[in-house]
Amino acid sequence: MASEAAGVVVIVVTSASVARTLLLPGSRVGFLLRKIDQGTDRIFRLAGRFTSTHERRSRFRSMHAPMILAAQLWSWLGLYFLGYALLLWPQTGQLARALKESGSSLLTLGFAASGQGTAVAIDLLAATTGLIVVALQIAYLPTLYNAFNRREADVSLLAVRAGKPAWGPELLARSHLMGAVSELPALYATWERWAADVAESHSSYPVLLRFRAANPLSSWLTGFVAVLDSAALYASIATDGSPLQARLFLRMGFGCLQQLADTVGIAYDPDPRPDAGIRLTEAEFQQGIDRLRAYDFPIDRPVEEIWIHFQGWRVNYESIVYNLALQIDAPPALWSGPRRQLTPQIAPKKLLDRTPEDPQGAKPVKKGRKVET
C-alpha cells in the first residue's frame, strides 16, 4: 500500500507539472522546470568559461532552450515511469518486473504485461499517459516557434535603426540622421504591441526567454531595453511635454518586464520613487549624450535635467533588465548591465555614408542621406 500511495503522489504531481507547463496560460515557473533551467544553466556557464568571445558563447547557448525542452519531456516520462512502477509493484511482486512493465506500457511497446486485472488497468492508463504527454509536447512546439518568430521579426528590424547590438541613444541618433524622428511614435506603438505579446507568450511559456536569435549580437532583451531607453531619453529631452506614444510604450514596457519577473521569480519594486537611483552611471549616460551630439540630435534641455528625468523613467525597468540579461547571457550591449563573465561592452558601429565619390564613407553623414551599417 505504501508503494501504491507513493506512486499515486508521483503521478499526480507530475500531471500537475505537465498541465501547468503545457496547458495553463500565465503560470509561474514550476519546481521541475526551475530545477531543469538551473541545472542546464550551470552546464552552459561551466562550458562558457572555455570560450573566449561572446559570439562563441552565444552560438553554444543557442542549444540551451532545446536542451530544456528535451530534459523537460524526459523528466516527465521518467517520473511517470517511476510512478506507474510503484503502482505495479504489489501486482507483480518484484520491483524489477514492475519497472519493466511500467516502461513497456508507458512507451506503448507492449513487450511486458502481467495480464492481471488491476495491472491491466494500470498498463492502459500508463500507455494513455505516455501518448498524451508526447502529443502535448509536440503540439507545444509550434506555439513556441510562432511566438519566437513574432518576437524576432521586430527585433531584426532594429539592426538598421539602433545598430548591432541595439542601443537606445543610437536609435534616436539614427532616426534624426535619416529624417525619421516623426516616425518614432509609430515605432513606439509597434513596440507597445510587441511588449504586450511578449508579456503574454513568455509568461505562459517561460522557456522562450532562453531562445536566442541566430545573430550573436541580436537579442530580444537588448533590443527591448534599447527601445525603452530611447523612449525614456526622448521623453526626457522633450521640452514641450513628453511624447504621448513614448510614455504609453514605457508604461507597457514596465508592465511586460514586471510580468516576466513575476513568472521567473525576480524580486523588484513595483512602484519605485523617481529619485531612487539607478545603476547606470553618469559617465555611461554622458556617453549616450555624446553619441546624440555627434549626430546633431537637437538637445535644448540642460544635460543635468535630462539625467534627472531619465533616471525617473529607467528606475522602473533597469533592475529587471539587468537581472534577466545576466540570467540569459544576453549580448553585452551598452547600458544593459554586467554579465557573469567579464566581457567588454560592445558599441554599435557608426553609420557610414558610402557614395561613388566616397566609397569608404569617410565624410560625415548628412541628415536625410541614405546610409549603410
Q: Which of 198, 306, 293 is nearest to 252 (CA)?
A: 198
pLDDT of residue 370: 46
Integer CA distances (angstroms), 73 to 33, 130, 228, in order: 10, 10, 36
CB atoms inside a 10 Å sphere around CB 1: 6
Q: Which of 367, 365, 339 is nearest to 352 (CA)?
A: 365
What span, in angstroms and rounded, lies between the C-alpha atoms of 161 and 230?
Answer: 11
Cβ within 8 Å of residue 75, ≥6 positions away? 32, 36
pLDDT tens, 212-249?
998 999 999 999 999 999 999 999 998 776 689 999 99
Quote the pTM value. 0.88
Integer CA distances (angstroms), 9 to 12, 17, 27, 75, 132, in order: 5, 12, 21, 16, 19
Q: What are the boundaries of each domain within the chain?
A: 2-139, 144-328
Peptide bond connecting 165 to the previous residue in cis, omega within 30 degrees of 0: yes
Integer CA distances (angstroms), 54 to 9, 51, 96, in order: 44, 8, 48
What span, in angstroms and rounded, lies between the C-alpha atoms of 219 and 165?
Answer: 8
Q: Which of 182, 260, 170, 176 is nearest to 223 (CA)?
A: 170
pLDDT in tens, the chain (373 residues): 688 889 899 999 999 999 888 887 766 677 888 899 999 999 888 887 777 778 888 888 899 999 999 999 999 999 999 999 999 888 887 888 888 988 888 888 777 666 677 888 888 899 999 999 999 999 989 999 999 999 999 999 998 899 999 999 999 999 998 889 999 999 999 999 999 999 999 998 999 999 999 899 999 999 999 999 999 999 999 877 668 999 999 999 999 999 999 999 999 999 999 999 999 999 999 999 999 998 889 998 999 999 999 999 999 999 999 999 999 999 999 999 998 888 889 999 877 666 676 676 656 555 555 444 4
Cβ within 8 Å of residue 206, ≥6 positions away? 29, 33, 37, 263, 264
Buried b (16+ CB within 10 A) or exposed e, 22-47: beeeebebbebbeebbeebbeebeee
Integer CA distances (angstroms), 284 to 10, 99, 279, 289, 347, in order: 52, 60, 10, 9, 12
Integer CA distances (angstroms), 180 to 43, 95, 171, 173, 245, in order: 45, 71, 10, 10, 15
CA 223, 229, 232 angle in degrees (round to 5)?
Answer: 145
pLDDT tens, 63-95?
999 999 999 999 999 999 999 999 988 888 788
